[in-house]
């Protein structure tokens, strides 16, 4: 998730960066997360520094495109969480749907949001 990527780019907490380095060959990032990170860079007071950090991160992680299958999962999940009165942020819902469609686990410090999504596997490194 976006927050873990930020922790890794900042090397804080160090434990998250160490875990990332140990598992790097098994990790990827959603194109939705890349979009959120790009938005953060554009809003940043230290745009050049943060853009360089994002470029470095993108060189380490393959970005997976959000495709039609992920979109189907998104529609199903959004309807499910809204039907039970447990709405979730739309970008997080897209990230969750993307991971679920591929059978992947989301690494995040925002477990509460993702645990409300049916069928999404979540792990916290912080």
Domain boundaries, the chain: 2-123
According to CATH, the topology of domain 2-123 is Rossmann fold (3.40.50)
The residues near 84 (Cβ < 8 Å, ≥ 6 apart) are none
pLDDT in tens, 31-71: 999 999 999 999 999 999 999 999 999 999 999 999 999 99
Q: pTM for the whole thing?
A: 0.93
Percentage of the chain exceeding pLDDT 90:
96
Which H/E stretch holds residue 1?
A: none
Q: Coil, helix or strand for 111?
A: helix
Residue 86 has pLDDT above 90, yes or no: no
Q: Please give the mean pLDDT across all residues of the chain.
A: 96
Q: Coil, helix or strand for 122?
A: strand
Kindly indicate the confidence band of residue 99, based on its pLDDT and cuts at 50, 70 and 90: very high
């Amino acid at each position: 998730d976006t927050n873990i990527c930020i922790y890794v780019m900042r090397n804080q907490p160090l434990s998250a960066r160490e875990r990332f380095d140990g598992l790097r060959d098994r990790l990827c990032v959603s194109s939705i997360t890349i979009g959120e990170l790009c938005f953060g860079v554009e809003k940043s007071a230290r745009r050049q520094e943060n853009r360089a950090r994002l470029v470095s991160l993108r060189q380490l992680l393959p970005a997976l495109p959000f495709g039609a299958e992920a979109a189907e999962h998104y529609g199903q999940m959004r309807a499910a969480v809204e039907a039970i009165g447990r709405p979730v942020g739309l970008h997080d819902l897209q990230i969750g749907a993307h991971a679920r469609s591929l059978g992947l686990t989301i690494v995040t410090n925002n477990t509460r949001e993702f645990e409300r999504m049916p069928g999404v596997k979540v792990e916290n490194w912080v």
